[in-house]
Amino acid sequence: EAGVAQSPRYKIIEKRQSVAFWCNPISGHATLYWYQQILGQGPKLLIQFQNNGVVDDSQLPKDRFSAERLKGVDSTLKIQPAKLEDSAVYLCASSLDREGYEKLFFGSGTQLSVL
Partner 1 sequence: SQKIEQNSEALNIQEGKTATLTCNYTNYSPAYLQWYRQDPGRGPVFLLLIRENEKEKRKERLKVTFDTTLKQSLFHITASQPADSATYLCARADDKIIFGKGTRLHILP
Interface positions with partner 1 (CB under 8 A):
4, 33, 35, 40-45, 48, 55-56, 91, 93, 98, 100-109
Q: In angstroms, give the least distance from the CB of 24 to partner 1.
A: 14
Q: Minimum distance from CB of 16 to partner 1 (Å)?
A: 28
State in angstroms the smallest separation of the CB of 74 from partner 1. Answer: 17
Counting Cβ atoms within 10 Å, is residue 40 exposed (0-12), middle (13-18) or buried (19+)?
Answer: exposed
Q: Which is nearer to partner 1, 15 or 44 (CB)?
A: 44
Residue 2's CB is within 10 A of a number of other CB atoms, namely: 8
| Whether the Cβ atoms of residue 49 and residue 32 lie closer than 8 Å to each other | yes
* Helix (H/G/I), strand (E/B), else coil: 52: coil
